[in-house]
Amino acid sequence: METNSKHPCFDINAKHQYARVHLPVAPKCNIQCNYCHRKYDCVNESRPGVTSAVLSPLQALYYLKTLSKKINNLSVVGIAGPGDPFANPIETMGTIKLIRKEMPEIILCVSSNGLEIVPYIDELSEHKVSHVTITMNSDDPEVLGKIYAWVRYNKKVYHKTDAGHVILEQQLKAIELLKKKGMTVKINSIVIPGINDNNMLQLAKTVSALGADVMNSIPMFPVEEAAFNNISEPSRLIMSRIRLETSAYLKPMTHCARCRADAAGLLGQDDPEISCLLKEASSFTNADLSQRPRIAVATHEGLLVNQHLGETRVLYIFEETRNGYRLVEQRKAPDPGCGDQRWNELANILSDCRALLVSGIGEKPQRILTNSGIHIMQMSGLIDVGLDAVYKNIGVRTLTKAESMKCGDGCNGNMKGCA
């Protein structure tokens, strides 16, 4: 299906006809760019990494449904931060799954630095994500080492040229695999005078050979407190030269609006009033957004949240009544083993539960349960405190996440409990 004609970022003719929305569900980032600082937020400020609020997957779905009633020409839903989507894979893939189920015809896209997207490309394809943007600022590791203060990959932090080698290797692999899945790939490149402005032509040659479709050369905008704050924005002459040279290899995008991570509306014409809808959605708990009346708890004795999901054999099921919270029943959890099947079975067992209170949980079950619409709350302490947090929207500052119970930390078991 041809979708570029309805995607304003990939077709300039769609810019004034079709609207897009970016859902800010991915706050964490796995790199530190020397031109980026995400501290500031103003509704009149348009640049990546900025958002007025961060949403959970269910909040994002609620916001999108509300927004689609206000914007009747909405054709594209994207995830572009404010960090990196794949430094937040549970939130990103959970959001994509929910949206694809509710809106099967909407165009889905993601924008990433490409460092950790590779493990999720098959899943992106499965949910019909058709457009992917990779921010790629050079194909020279030494130049990249000047652009990134650090790169965190596979739990290790890299600096300078080592950082450049790591991110470049993953970006090139990602482009190749994305194209094999038939996705449209756009390369965003931040042009930094004196750093990478003379490297753009070679970058265009490299990514063109891998099948990339579009190149968007973006002039760096100096941001207060960023490491490159003292470097001036490149001149129009420099940008014109770069776009002309790179156009010999890739179609240039010339209408970029430096979109925020919560951008909504026509490209370059974001409606400031929409930020009120965003903040409203961010104030709802998942309990407000789900018809599921109950909450599951991993507990030894029915008083405290004190079990890791992997060791739980029975879950206590609670619901809210006019006279307080009531223990409805105890449900047997699926037996250990069987991989993903165990957690998919648990999602079915908890189909009437809006949340799961647990002292610890592995990444895989968290992703599967979150994708099924179950909010995971890691904590320790009284069950009633956790129930209050979900049902009454009492701030999670009253909860204590049991870091010592986090899956994988000092585990001496045989891993069968979490399999």
State the CATH number of the domain containing residue 388: 3.30.420.130
Helix, strand, or coil here: 352? coil
Decide if 160 is inside a domain. yes
Q: Which domain holds residue 142?
A: 4-283
Whether residues 356 and 331 fall in one domain: yes
Q: Let me know whether 352 and 262 are in one domain.
A: no
pLDDT for the residue 317 = 96
The answer as to whether 416 is a domain residue is no
- What confidence tens digit (pLDDT) does each residue in 200-225 have? 999 999 999 999 999 999 898 888 88
Q: Give mean pLDDT, residues 269-293.
A: 70
Any domain includes 419: no
Distance CA 32, CA 358 (A): 32
The whole-number average pLDDT for the span 339-353 is 87
Q: How far apart are the first and last CA of the chain?
A: 39
Please, are residues 357 and 383 in contact by the beta-carbon 8 Å criterion?
Answer: yes
Cα→Cα distances 49→42, 79, 111, 153, Å? 12, 11, 11, 20
Quickly list H helices, 185-224. Answer: 200-209
- Contact in structure between 77 and 64 (CB atoms under 8 Å): yes
Asked whether 69 and 13 are in contact (CB, 8 A), the reply is no
Q: How confident is the model at residue 50 (pLDDT cuts 50, 70, 90)?
A: confident
| pTM score over 0.75 | no
Q: Cβ distance 394 to 388 under 8 Å? A: yes
pLDDT tens for 158-192 read 999 999 999 999 999 999 999 999 999 999 999 99
Residue 158 shares a structural domain with residue 246: yes
Give the span between the Cα atoms of 55 and 65, in whole angstroms. 14
Classify the phi-psi angles of 339: left when phi > 0, otherwise alpha if psi is within -120 to 50, otherwise beta. left
Are 198 and 311 members of one domain? no
